[in-house]
Amino acid sequence: MGFLDFYKISGPSARKVDSDSVDKTWRKKRFQAFLAGTFAYALYYVCRLSMGVMKQPLIDAGLLSATQLGIVGACLYWCYAVGKFVNGFLADGSNIKRFMATGLIISVAMNLCMGVLGASAAAGAIPSSALFICFAVMWGINGWAQSMGAPPAIIALSRWFPLKIRGTYYGFFSASHNIGEGLSFIFVGSLVAFAGW
């Protein structure tokens, strides 16, 4: 299996459902797809908003200035904007489960790497100028990975829900932003308070 084959849209399932349980199975799978997309996108938000929780401790520790952190934040949003345009087209012809999972894995990896680098810089192992460049590059990569979240989730909604109820479920899906923001402040805030820099 090649790299591009991994992202090809999967064919119909070989497993068949008996005619009596088709409707029940369809509704169950549809709801599972909705929950998976909603909570996966909430996790994307945890990885996107973590820098907001870490900014003040980074400034207080003297690792980065507010200006440097502003540039790092801009790297995320510029890459996110370009990536959302490109990845929206790519997601249309991709296996959306794998596409969305790839973006989330990359985003988590960038957050973990930045945490390790921040801790190393606080210990004096990395100079502030190198930390700034690494953070800008990694947060830009995170921005690109973040752009791989919304398109697959919206595609899943359009594939699983008919127009008659799609708006209702999209409304529920939009709560994923708030769920992710809440989780970000609780989880990342607790982690920074516990571990510090």
Q: How many residues does the chain have?
A: 197
* pLDDT score, position 196: 62
CATH for 26-195 (1.10.3680.10, 1.20.1250.20, 1.10.3720.10, 1.10.8.60): 1.20.1250.20
Break the chain into its structural domains and give their ranges. Answer: 26-195
User: Structure tokens of 134?
Assistant: 């690494």
106-134 residue pLDDT tens: 999 999 999 899 889 888 888 989 999 99
* Amino acid making up residue 55: K
For the stretch 60-89, pLDDT in tens is 989 999 999 999 999 999 999 999 999 999
Q: Mapping DSSP to helix (H, G, I), strand (E, B) and coil, where does residue 164 land? A: helix
Asked if 50 and 139 touch (Cβ cutoff 8 Å), the reply is no
pLDDT at 133: 97
Q: Which two tokens stand for residue 186?
A: 């609780």
Average pLDDT, rounded, for the chain: 89
